[in-house]
């Protein structure tokens, strides 16, 4: 499915609200739940959020666990920032549930609506005016010798960097089975287009339009000045092998900044396209609008 394609969602009758912690998210969640209930929609909330210290909505709602989710949910709404949307995507897994972000912060690249537009977001969902676009996700595996030790799925990025000891790492990278580079650096980031404005951007990597279908490999503080970010097709599998030094201790593997795994020398990280894309309700502002208006590029 092309990243350019847009699929109508239809009127939302069962909606999962996925809030972050905090008083602002509690208020927004109560407001959204009340508006959905008035419109006749069923409201679902994560069980663990309802167990927290914040009071649940007063309107009727149901509690769900991640393993109880099914295709009967028309829409999930992440109430928070980009990090909340990524956590919601991880919680939904590969289920075919469209995800809409409502950004409660100042800077967000992924949310379709801002905090002041929450009512409009709910209205559009109920009216069936929303669409979703497929966004590339990465399937990540960790191999130690011939044993697969861990598996994760990410939306933004996967990176390998030094652990507790701030030692420069030696990494061997391959693209589509072909040797690409031996990298001596603090680490290496592999990002999707959606994740290009996250850690990749901070490390000097390129901003990639969300409509593209690519991986970006960006070294973190490389020792060799000729090492530069590389962009390649997402159909190509990426392999990162941690080859040394032997006295550097465990390196850190992270997926979306939300899951970590300690790597030993000789471990191999394999990244390929996930079978199911993220079904994201796309931001109405492009990434370039955000850069121009919120980061001052338009000045």
Q: Find the Cα–Cα–Cα–Cα dihedral 294, 295, 298, 299, rounded to 10°.
A: 110
Q: Please give the Cα distance from 167 to 164 (Å, whole number).
A: 9
Tokens of 191: 């990002």
Q: Phi first, then psi: what are they for 68, rounded to 5°?
A: -100, -5
Burial of 215 (0-12, 13-18, 19+ CB in 10 A): buried
> How many CB atoms sit inside 10 A of residue 4's CB?
11
Q: Which of 156, 112, 66 is nearest to 280 (CA)?
A: 112
Instruction: Find tokens 């652990």 and name the residue.
Output: 163
Q: Which of 2, 268, 41 is nearest to 135 (CA)?
A: 2
50-72 b/e (C-beta count within 10 Å ≥ 16 → b): eeeebebbeeebeebeeeebeee
Contact 181, 222 (CB under 8 A): no
74 part of the active site: no
Which one of the listed residues 24, 70, 82, 246 is annotated catalytic?
A: 82
Tokens of 78: 């992440």
Q: Please give the Cα distance from 117 to 150 (Å, whole number).
A: 40
Tokens of 93: 């897994």
Tokens of 22: 């905090």
What residues are annotated to the active site? Answer: 82
């Amino acid at each position: 499915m092309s990243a350019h394609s847009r699929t109508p969602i239809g009127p939302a009758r069962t909606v999962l609200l996925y809030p972050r912690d905090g008083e602002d998210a509690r208020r927004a969640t109560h407001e959204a739940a009340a508006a959905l209930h008035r419109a006749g929609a069923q409201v679902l909330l994560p069980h663990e959020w309802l167990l927290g210290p914040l009071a649940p909505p007063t309107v009727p709602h149901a509690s769900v666990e991640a393993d109880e989710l099914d295709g009967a949910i028309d829409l999930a709404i992440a109430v928070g920032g980009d990090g909340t949307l990524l956590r919601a995507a991880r919680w939904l897994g590969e289920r075919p549930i469209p995800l809409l972000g409502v950004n409660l912060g100042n800077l967000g690249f992924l949310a379709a609506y801002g905090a002041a537009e929450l009512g409009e977001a709910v209205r559009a969902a109920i009216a069936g005016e929303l669409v979703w676009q497929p966004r590339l996700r990465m399937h990540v595996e960790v191999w130690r010798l011939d044993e697969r030790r861990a598996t994760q799925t990410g939306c933004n990025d996967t990176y390998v960097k030094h652990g507790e000891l701030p030692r420069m790492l030696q990494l061997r990278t391959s693209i589509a089975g072909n040797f690409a580079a031996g990298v001596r650096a603090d680490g290496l980031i592999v990002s999707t287009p959606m994740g290009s404005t996250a850690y990749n951007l901070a490390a000097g990597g390129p901003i990639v339009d969300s409509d593209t279908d690519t991986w970006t490999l960006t070294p973190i503080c490389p020792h060799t000045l000729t090492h530069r970010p590389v962009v390649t097709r997402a159909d190509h599998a990426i392999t990162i092998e941690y080859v040394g030094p032997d006295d550097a201790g465990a390196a850190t593997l992270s997926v979306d900044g939300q899951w970590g795994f300690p790597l030993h020398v000789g471990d191999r990280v394999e990244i390929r396209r996930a079978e199911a894309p993220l079904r994201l309700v796309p931001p109405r502002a492009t990434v370039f609008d955000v850069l121009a208006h919120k980061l001052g590029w338009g000045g």
